[in-house]
Amino acid sequence: MINRIRDIRRQKGLTLADVADRCVPATTAQTIGRLETGMRQLSLTWMNRIAAALGVEPELLVRGDESEVPSFVARLTAEGAEALPAPREAILPSAFGGDGVLVALEVEASNGEYRAGDQVWLRQLGPEAFPRLLNRDVLVPRPGGRFAFGRMIDRDAQRVAVLPPGAGSRQVVVDSPAWIAVAEMLVRKL
């Protein structure tokens, strides 16, 4: 089993000391660090304490080696969608389920109706689903590891046209994308 404590802690913007202080009873940052790295065994008791400190279900702290997990693949900046240097594991909101590969887009700079700090959760779909994605917000892979994000405004047998969010944006046309991820959930911090 692989431990996900570090990924969850970092996504929530917490330090080792923050998690240690939130544990009941409190512990040390060094202990949390050892549990994260596997230097100390993650018992059921520790799993429950750390899950409570992180505000997640205990089962989110561990996963099997072969399980497919959703990941952040792109970020939305003032200039548009761009690929992350490497995909990063994303923590799935508990109310989100369904079939298909999930990806997430993090919004770094406010753009259109999206605010800095938002997470957009998307589900990857194959070409057979493209016709029903018109007028939906989508993430489309482009050549060279790039992405287009915005409202899908047109499609034909080979191409899709995406209008990025924000005033004055020009449409982006992508030839023969292998998949399109459709936005299904917006997560916005209060």
CATH number at 40 reads 1.10.260.40
Handedness of CA 112, 115, 116, 122 (dihedral sign): negative
Same domain? 79 vs 136 = yes
3-class DSSP assignment, residue 7: helix
Last residue of a domain, one of 63, 90, 110: 63
Last residue of a domain, one of 44, 63, 82: 63
How much is the pTM?
Answer: 0.58
Last residue of a domain, one of 63, 88, 105: 63
Q: What is the rounded average pLDDT of the residues 3-24?
A: 89
Please give the pLDDT value at position 135: 94
Please give the pLDDT value at position 58: 82
Same domain? 58 vs 77 = no
Please give the pLDDT value at position 99: 62
Exposed/middle/buried for 39, CB within 10 Å: 0-12, 13-18, 19+?
exposed
Same domain? 150 vs 90 = yes
Structure confidence by residue, pLDDT tens digits, 27-75 = 999 999 988 888 888 888 898 899 999 988 887 787 654 455 677 888 8
Domain CATH number, residue 130: 2.10.109.10
- What is the span of the domain harbouring residue 42? 2-63
Same domain? 80 vs 172 = yes
CA distances, 120 to each of 74, 76, 92, 108, 184 (Å): 10, 10, 11, 11, 8
Residue predicted with more confidence, 88 or 170 = 170
Same domain? 14 vs 93 = no
Into how many domains does the chain fold? 2
Same domain? 147 vs 107 = yes
